Amino acid sequence: MLTGSIRGRWHLVTRIGQGGFGEIYIAHDRRTEQPVAIKFEKKSCQKEALKFEIEVLSQLQPSIFFPNFICSGCSKDFNYLVMDLHGPNLSSVRRHHRKRCFSITTTVKIGIEMILSIKEIHKIGFIHRDIKPSNFVLHHETTIKKLISKKKKKNDNLPTICLLDFGLARRYLDQEGKLLQPRGKVGFRGTTRYASLNSHLGIDLSRRDDIWSLLYLLVEFLKGELPWSQVKDRQLIFELKKKFNSVSLVKGLSIQFAKFYEYVKTLKFEDSIDYDYLISLLQKAVKEGKYKCDHSLDWDKS
C-alpha cells in the first residue's frame, strides 16, 4: 500500500483497485481540492503498459466517454497516471444488485454508451481488446458537475459510464490510416469470460472482437450470468463458448439480440462495424417490449 503524496500535490487517500499491472488510488488534489484517481505501475514491470495506456488516453482527449487525463509522470519506482475519479465499476454494481442483473432499459442505455465509446477508440485507430464490465465505471458526482459546467448540457444528456484501461489496446490502423494485416498465430489476449472465440483460437484480434466481448457483457447484464460464468478453466470456457456459438446464447431475450448475434457472427477480420445498426437494435429491443419510458437507472431506484 502506497502512502504520502505525489509531487507534493496529490495526497494518496486509499487504494481502490488492483489490476494485472498496477494499483489504483484515490488521491486528494491539494490545488483544486478535488478527488482524483492515480494509476501506478511498478517500473520493474516488464511491459511498462502504462506508458502505452497514457498515449492512448491522451489521444482520446477530450471525450465524455473516457476519463479526463490530468497528468502523468514517474517517481523512482513507479510510472503513474493522474485522471479524474469515477464511481464504481459495472462488475461491482451488478454483483451488488438484486438478482445480479439489470433491466432491459438500463442495459440498453448503458449498452448504447458502450457502443459509442468503442466507436471512439476505433475511430482513432485502436482496438481495446479488454471490453468487460470492470472496465466501465460510473461517472463520479464531481466529474458530472465538471461536465455540466464545461458542456452546459442538461444532466440527462450526459453519459452514465466511462471506458477505461487501455493497457491491452492495440493499433489496428497504421499511421496512414491503413488496416494492419493480421499476424499469424498470437497469444490469448483479454479476460477469459468476455474474450471472443478468436482470442481463444490465437487469431489476431480486430474491431469485431471488441463487439463480441460487448455482446457477452450485454447477455450477462440481462440474464445475470453467461453459460460459463461458474467456470474458471480457460479450456472449458472455450468449449462452452463453442457450444453456445449460436442464437442459443441469447435465448429468452428480445429477437433484437438474435439479430445482434447474427450480425457479429458475419464480421470478418477487416470489417468495420455498423455501430448505428447495433444501436438501433438495442433501441428496438426497448420499444418492442413496450416498457414504460423510464429514464432512471436500476441502481438509482434501489
Phi-psi region of 4 (alpha: psi -120 to 50; beta: other; left: phi over 0): left
In degrees to the nearest 10, what's the CA dihedral of 226, 198, 269, 251? -20
Catalytic status, residue 130: yes
Query: CB-wise, 127 or 282, nearer to ligand ADP?
Result: 127
Query: CB-wise, 194 or 257, nearer to ligand ADP?
Result: 194
Q: State in angstroms the smallest separation of the CB of 208 from ligand ADP.
A: 22
Q: State in angstroms the smallest separation of the CB of 111 from ligand ADP.
A: 18
Q: State in angstroms the smallest separation of the CB of 220 from ligand ADP.
A: 16
Query: CB-wise, 213 or 256, nearer to ligand ADP?
Result: 213
Query: CB-wise, 39 or 122, nearer to ligand ADP?
Result: 39
Give yes or no for a cis peptide into 62 (omega within 30° of 0): yes
Q: State in angstroms the smallest separation of the CB of 269 from ligand ADP.
A: 26
Catalytic residue among 29, 77, 84, 130: 130
Residues of this chain that interact with ligand ADP (CB under 6 A) are 16-17, 19-22, 24, 37, 39, 67, 83, 85-86, 89, 134-135, 137, 164-165, 167
Catalytic residue positions, numbered: 130
